[in-house]
Amino acid sequence: MGSRTGLYLDYLSLADLEAAQWAGVMGVATFDGLRLAGDATVPVAEVKTPVLGESGALCEVWRTHQAVEYGVHGRVRHARTSDMLFGCISVAESEQTSLYRATEQAYREILGTVDALAYPHLVRVWNYVPEINRDTDGVERYRQFNAARQAALLEGERPITGNVSAACALGAEVGSPLVVYFLASQNAPSYVENPRQVSAYNYPPQYGARSPVFSRATVLHERDSMTLFISGTASIVGHQTIHAGDAAAQTRETLTNIEALLAEANRVTRSEDFTLESLACKVYVRDPSDLPLIQAELRAALGPAARPVYLRADICRRDLSVEIEATAMVASTGG
């Protein structure tokens, strides 16, 4: 691991981040309203979702051993290496800026940035949508977000099926802005779907007039490593929610879906490198009272050495209690 030059992911306390210094940091996401006083050039996505458990305030830190250049393009703060780009943007709603318009603006600026800087392939995108399940003007806000994201991608002449980024969309606290952060590359990743699920971009109209646009996972191939990005994954089989109202059963079903994605990622990469034990997991919990049940299921599946991060967040469907995203970074086998 120490000899790799590609991406690294760490979940650190503020004290640990400051002790580790800022060298090689491409970008940071903070949670629980934490604000950083470190290097002002580093792009920081401030996400207002409470941290659960004993972790306290946390930073999601993306770093590299390569040289990093920082900059701003419009409202997108970014950092780049010779082949990778991290960026983030925050767009507040107002009387003049609806969620639909804020989403369109955010994605237009993201696409404009990756095009201008020549990192054309979105690999992974994180979206935090305030009050994601609330209805406004008779339409759930998650569906408004999906419609605007798809419209912006079509306007930018980007695909909305097939070769699309891994992604997630979670709720954020009332009054917070739409926050989006992303990783893009000069090289196309491998795109991975789950054989147990209908691809999200092929969902039937009952889930909204415009489908979500994301792959179930992507694999980024770097010079000496591979990184697997598993999108937000939940208790969905086919296109239907399973085990509504049972957080423990939903967690087990989610882990079964993740295992299916690991098998498919290994098939695509002709490797056996991606395992449950290799994953860094970020777990979104709708109802904090379900946390002990969810933690027990994850300990049983991942082992005592795993250190999942737990956040309180609404999930894209009202009948989902838990969603898990995961990342695995392994040395490349050259397969």
Express each pLDDT in 19-47 by its tens digit: 777 789 999 999 986 777 666 789 999 99
pTM equals 0.96
The predicted-structure confidence for 320-334, as pLDDT tens digits, reads as follows 999 999 999 998 755
The least confident of 43-57, 135-149, 185-199 is 43-57
Assigned token pair, 99: 């969620």
Is the predicted pLDDT of residue 335 greater than 90, yes or no? no
Is the predicted pLDDT of residue 2 greater than 80, yes or no? no
Asked whether residue 2 is domain-assigned, the answer is no
Over the chain, what is the mean pLDDT? 93
CATH number at residue 64: 3.30.1330.40
The least confident of 95-109, 208-222, 321-335 is 321-335
Name the residues annotated as catalytic: 323
**Domain residue limits at 249:** 7-331
pLDDT at 54: 73
Beta strand 25-30 with 44-46 is parallel
Asked whether residue 1 is domain-assigned, the answer is no
What residues does 240 pair with on adjacent strands? Answer: 237
Asked whether residue 140 is domain-assigned, the answer is yes
* 327 in Cβ contact with 280 (< 8 Å): yes
Looking at the 3D structure of the chain, how many domains does it have? 1
The least confident of 27-41, 114-128, 193-207, 208-222 is 27-41
Asked whether residue 189 is domain-assigned, the answer is yes
